[in-house]
Amino acid sequence: MVRVKLVNVTKRFGDVIAVNNVSFEVKEGELFTLLGPSGCGKTTTLRLIAGFYKPDSGEIYFNDELVNNIPPYKRNTGMVFQNYALWPHMRVFDNVSYGLKLRNWPPRKIIKRVKEMLKLVGLAGKEKRYPSELSGGEQQRVALARALVIEPRVLLLDEPLSNLDAKLRVKMRSEIRKIQKKLGITTIYVTHDQEEALSISDRIAVMNKGKILQIGDPVDIYEKPKDIFVNDFIGTTNFIPARVIEVDSKARKIILNINDQKIVKDYYGDVEVGMDVICAVRPESLSITSLSEKPKDKPFIVGRIDLIDFLGKIIRYEIETDFGLIRVDTSEKSLREKFKEGDKVAIVIEPETIRIFTK
Amino acid sequence: MLDLKKAIPKRLLEEKNISLVASLINLILITFIVLPIFAILVKAFISPRGISFENFIIFWSNSYYREALYATFMAAIFTVITTSLIGIPLAYILVRYDFPGKSFFSILVLVPLIMPPFVGALGLYKILGISGVVNIILVNILHVLDKPVNFLYGDMLLFALSDYDKIYLPYGIILINTLHLYPLIYLNCAASLSNIDPSLEEQAENLGSRGFHLFRTITFPLMRPGWMAGAVLVFIWTFSDLGTPLIVHYFKMLSVIVFFKLYEITAGNPSPVSYVIGFIMVIVSFITLFISRKYISLSRYVMMFSGGRHVRRLYRPSGVKLILVYFFLITLSLSALSPHIGLTLVAFSKKWVLTLIPEQFTLDNFYYVTPLAAPFIFRSFIYSLIAAGIDIILGAFIAYIVSRKLFIGSDLLDLIATIPLAVPGIIFGLGYWALFYKVPLLDPLSYTPIILTISYSMRRMPYTVRAAYAGLLQIDEALEEASINLGATRMKTFKKITLPLLVMNLFAGGILSFINALIEVSTTFLLVVTDKYAPTTWFLYFRALADPRRGLAIASAVGFLFVVIIAVALFVTNKILGSKMGSVFRL
């Protein structure tokens, strides 16, 4: 079991800074996710940990051991590649036992161990198959078994589910999480899928343009994004412009003008009177009413329903307003009969659900 | 024969024209590729006393034939080994290593391709021959050897099965073929190697593998298809090559026996032994082809890229490793260039006896030989141009039918069109004698130009098929479907949409067909009987080299002209095909 620590790690490819001064620490047995859009540096970070790249500056530690100069074949990490990287010329057994043979395990122990591992990932009895004879999900399990069988110090997963269909993806991610918890292995997971990250992780680091923007547990990341990018990247967010009209630094309160209505918010950052800010608000925090029914004490925005999208559990309204398209989610089925596309409605904002970002 | 009309599914009957063309092409290919091979296989069993194994018994009871059989196998097997020992490391170095001068060496190591092997053998006369530069250095300068050794001609006893069954290793043949054929292994391996998904090797490193273990367990198994494809080409080539043994006067080879026995056929007295040897060659070729079939078919050209990152694995060697890389590449390039150097020096030399380089240079050889060779060169161009034209037409249709699966027999067509890659020229020559002797318009004796041109076009058709196929893979089928959707027939679509997009590929493939027809030795030597219809290769061997006064010099001059023509043609092709060039030399 191992802690993984990155201290001020930077990696350049030519003029491009792929990983920019990244620091984080993954605790023992933790499932830590690097989340971000493609090209954000998350896979590069993972490959730095695996040892396929050397950092240009900064240090990588496994526990207290500096591993910067340890080549990949001596790091004892178990990596699962995005495309599984199963060797097409080897059967499942040979794929999985490869690492054990390199570690000079006796053949009898190898057979036993591979069997156990295949059972763990739900592939018992498929030892003799070639990768091409397996389904996508099964290939994924082989790749996982192959990485886990060597009892690696860290498990590294590079977008392991991105080649699976939506249903299987959900199933596999909970299986990966269960296996990871059962073995208690320190795991670093790379994905661009925020839903996957929120569901599987103990903690998440959100990355963009080579930098880490926020590290936190999934609930924090979702509910208290520190950054406008994080807010936008995680879940769906409406951005509504506002202006600061009063700052009460003693009471740590500010008054904002949204759509010519005043709201009071706690705020601790540096804002000044007259500053333009952006209010981020999740679709599920908004509600809609008819123009006549709108509450007097809450700010609202008037718009016309552009699209009603029935998504199963919820209904999403896309509403055209002066501030652009605003999305509102509701699970109230009764609203379905009440409003039609083209109707004029009021979008009601709950001030406490607003998060404020400066531009 | 297959009933082709029945083989066409109903919905395609509407496309009558395309079916008609497909049937016609199948008919042509069956007549000129499949049937001649059948004829050999059948005739091997026909003796004056009916159908029997008598011919095989005659062959087997002659110890000279047996020794030729062993020697031919040894030549082929050992050439595969030697070319692999060069080609595999070469591919690894040039694909995986990055070092100054890499692109220069990448071109230099391909120079053997611009020289027909029998011309290369000619070029080596004065390098490795009995009075060659190497002997002069070893005997007269370094005094390592007492007397000169002919490195080109000769063999050594490997082991004796009995007094009459001795297995010889024809090292001269192996040496020449190695120098000429290693690029085939290199190109095929390099293609495979650069297609390996890097994550497959990274995964192995991640699990603790490295160095030679990584190469042995992951890298080589993944590039094996490429290596096998190259090895098949090298094996069949060496097994059936006629030009090189003739040039170095090593006659204990199956191909040479067939060639010498030919006069019995033309005398109206077909030699059963030729057909037995033909039978052996066909079987050996087909076994090799069958074993590697899955690596050879056209559809293999679809690259196997799986999703994921493609960061090329590239190392910068340093220190001793870098020195070794340069040593390997420089030695190889010099060896690969030596036939060219030898040929050029001889072609321009006035007199070259027992010196390191000629004492005097002259253009006399060219002045002397050009008027003599002119009619032969002219005929060569005519035959080769017509053959290349036929290949372009056939190649376009075959590739189109195969790639778009328009015809129920398209897989069969693919297979038949691949056969010429594996079946030696000797077989074509012998098969045409067996099948078309005394047939009007096709008889090799009286209608040499016709049957020779047909043999050239059949032999080299894979070049245009492949070039066209590579092009077709890059043309989105939707372009054609859009045209069909607007009401054009398949045929019209092919003419108006597909063909214009393919022109460059077809042209490039046609040039390669042309070059190879120009330098074709085995079918030429088998099918041409008099110099009335003979092309240049025939002239080079039977007239120029046979000149008692300065045979070597004028033959080298003709060879030099060959090399210049090929170099120019390849340069043009390269300009057209660009990076796809290599694919034409691969299986």
Dihedrals phi, psi of B370, to nearest 5 degrees? -60, -50
pLDDT value at residue A59: 95
Question: Which chain A positions have a beta carbon within 8 Å of B222's beta carbon?
Answer: 87-89
- A83 and B218 within 8 Å at the Cβ level: the answer is no
> Which range (A47-51, A76-80, B146-150, B371-375) has the least confidence?
B146-150
B161-220 pLDDT, tens digit per residue, is: 888 788 999 999 999 999 999 999 998 888 888 888 888 899 999 999 988 999 999 999
pLDDT value at residue B583: 56
Give me the residue spans of the domains in chain A. 4-233, 238-358
Domain made up of A238-358: CATH architecture = Beta Barrel (2.40)
CATH of domain B63-300+316-360: 1.10.3720.10
- B221 and A76 within 8 Å at the Cβ level: the answer is no
- Mean pLDDT of all residues in B237-246: 91
10 Å CB burial of residue B138 (0-12, 13-18, 19+) is middle
B88-131 pLDDT, tens digit per residue, is: 999 999 999 999 999 899 888 988 887 888 888 888 888 888 88
The more confidently predicted of residues B409 and A301 is A301
pLDDT value at residue A100: 93
Distance (Å, whole) CA B204 – CA A90: 12
B308 Cβ under 8 Å from any chain A Cβ? yes
Which candidate from A71, A78, A85 shows the least CB-CB separation from B200?
A85
Which candidate from A75, A85, A163 shows the least CB-CB separation from B203?
A85
10 Å CB burial of residue A275 (0-12, 13-18, 19+) is middle
B586: distance to nearest CA of chain A, Å? 22
Task: Select the residue from B203, B306, B314 to test the A interface by mutation, using most A Cβ atoms within 10 A.
Answer: B203
The more confidently predicted of residues B167 and B353 is B167
Task: Select the residue from A70, A77, A89, A104 to test the B interface by mutation, using most B Cβ atoms within 10 A.
Answer: A89
pLDDT value at residue A165: 85
pLDDT-based confidence at residue A264 (cuts at 50, 70, 90): confident
Distance (Å, whole) CA B332 – CA B334: 5
- A102 and B213 within 8 Å at the Cβ level: the answer is yes
> Least CA distance to B305: which residue of chain A?
A83
Question: Which chain B positions have a beta carbon within 8 Å of A76's beta carbon?
Answer: 208
Return the structure tokens found at B578: 């660009």
Bridge-based pairing of strands A154-158 and A187-191 is parallel
B307 Cβ under 8 Å from any chain A Cβ? yes
The more confidently predicted of residues B146 and A27 is A27
Task: Select the residue from A43, A102, A144, A150 to test the B interface by mutation, using most B Cβ atoms within 10 A.
Answer: A102
State whether ipTM is beyond 0.85: no
pLDDT value at residue A4: 95
Could you give the residue ranges of the DSSP H alpha helices within A307-357? Answer: 335-338
Average predicted confidence (pLDDT) for chain A:
89
Give me the residue spans of the domains in chain B. 63-300+316-360
Say whether pLDDT at B433 is over 80: yes
Q: In what order do the strands lie in the sheet with A211-216?
A: A77-80, A154-158, A187-191, A31-35, A203-208, A211-216
Fold classification of A4-233 is Rossmann fold (3.40.50)
Residues 6+ away with beta carbon under 8 Å from A71: A51, B205, B210
The more confidently predicted of residues B549 and A55 is A55
A75-90 pLDDT, tens digit per residue, is: 999 999 988 888 888 8
pLDDT value at residue B13: 45
Question: In this complex, how many residue pairs, one in chain A and one in chain B, have their CB atoms less than 8 Å apart?
Answer: 74
- A85 and B209 within 8 Å at the Cβ level: the answer is no
- A50 and B206 within 8 Å at the Cβ level: the answer is yes
Q: Hey, which residues 156-215 in chain B have their CB within 8 Å of chain A?
A: 197, 199-200, 202-210, 213
B52-95 pLDDT, tens digit per residue, is: 888 899 899 998 999 999 999 999 999 999 999 999 999 999 99
Dihedrals phi, psi of A172, to nearest 5 degrees? -65, -35
Percent of chain A with pLDDT over 70: 99
Distance (Å, whole) CA A130 – CA B442: 52
Which of B301, B307, B299 has the alpha carbon at shortest distance from B198? B307
- Mean pLDDT of all residues in B257-277: 79
pLDDT value at residue B276: 93
Return the structure tokens found at B345: 């020096």
pLDDT-based confidence at residue B578 (cuts at 50, 70, 90): low
Return the structure tokens found at A218: 């999934």
Say whether pLDDT at B434 is over 70: yes
B149-160 pLDDT, tens digit per residue, is: 888 887 888 888
- Mean pLDDT of all residues in B406-419: 78
B58 Cβ under 8 Å from any chain A Cβ? no
B474-500 pLDDT, tens digit per residue, is: 777 778 777 777 777 777 888 888 888
- Mean pLDDT of all residues in A303-317: 88
Query: Is A238-358 the same fold as A4-233?
Result: no
Return the structure tokens found at B306: 């799986």
Under DSSP, is residue A239 helix (H, G, I), strand (E, B) or coil? strand
Average predicted confidence (pLDDT) for chain B:
84
pLDDT value at residue B579: 58
Residues 6+ away with beta carbon under 8 Å from B109: B90, B94, B183, B186, B329, B332, B333, B336
Which candidate from A74, A83, A103 shows the least CB-CB separation from B306?
A83
A160-180 pLDDT, tens digit per residue, is: 888 888 888 888 889 999 999
Which candidate from A43, A73, A78 shows the least CB-CB separation from B209?
A73
The more confidently predicted of residues B5 and B518 is B518
Which candidate from A77, A82, A102 shows the least CB-CB separation from B308?
A82
pLDDT value at residue B494: 81
B200: distance to nearest CA of chain A, Å? 5
Dihedrals phi, psi of B115, to nearest 5 degrees? -140, 125
- Mean pLDDT of all residues in A278-294: 87
Decide if B123 contacts B112 (C-beta within 8 A).
no
A103 Cβ under 8 Å from any chain B Cβ? yes
pLDDT value at residue A226: 86
B106: distance to nearest CA of chain A, Å? 25
Return the structure tokens found at B280: 């052996």
pLDDT-based confidence at residue B585 (cuts at 50, 70, 90): low
B299-342 pLDDT, tens digit per residue, is: 333 333 344 445 677 888 888 999 999 999 999 999 999 999 99
B532 Cβ under 8 Å from any chain A Cβ? no
Which candidate from B200, B210, B308 shows the least CB-CB separation from A87?
B200
The more confidently predicted of residues B132 and B585 is B132
> Least CA distance to B307: which residue of chain A?
A83
- A89 and B224 within 8 Å at the Cβ level: the answer is yes
